[in-house]
Amino acid sequence: MTVVIGFNWPVEHDHSVAVVVDGELVFASEEERWTRHKHSIDEPPINALVQALKFLKSKYGLSPSDVDAYAVNYEPRLYRRVDRAYWLRHVIINGVKYGYYDGGELGLAIDYLRSRVNLDNYLKYAYYLIRYSIRKAGFDAPINIKVIPVEHHLAHAASAYYFSGFGNAWY
């Protein structure tokens, strides 16, 4: 059984989570459903991830260690340096605000300064977010969490094609 959890983050709004089991979409939810804040502005999809994990446990008997990969719709290398720096600082600050940042105060200062130089730490924060959500859902967080960045617009195209029911995308 192949299980992939995809989530929309770190864009500023409409964070969401989807779960695909053996190629079938089995769960999809926006963060605003759980927080009751329209568009979930600046709120990471923690509650939606927690609900997705609980759903997998109740429906399929699966735990977070059974998840093959987490796909996130942001590929830092495809953005300009200034945009990557903005998003990375945004993610670090939200990590502290929402409690998923694991680095402590000194780590925060170091990471914030490094964000001006090394802009590829984004996936580390996605890892922190996933681990935090897993623990919040009441599970032990596995060490081998695989996070795969997916280019944002490719994610849109894939969701339109794969769930359309068409055999190909050519006219």
Over residues 58-68, the pLDDT tens digits come to 999 999 999 99
pTM to 2 decimal places: 0.85
pLDDT score, position 82: 76
Task: Give me the domains of the chain, ranges plus CATH numbers.
Answer: 3-76+121-162 (3.30.420.40)
Cβ count within 10 A of residue 148: 14
- Write out pLDDT tens, residues 145-155: 999 988 888 88
Handedness of CA 74, 112, 115, 41 (dihedral sign): positive
CA separation for the pair 10, 92 (Å, rounded): 10
pLDDT band at 34 (very low <50, low <70, confident <90, very high): confident
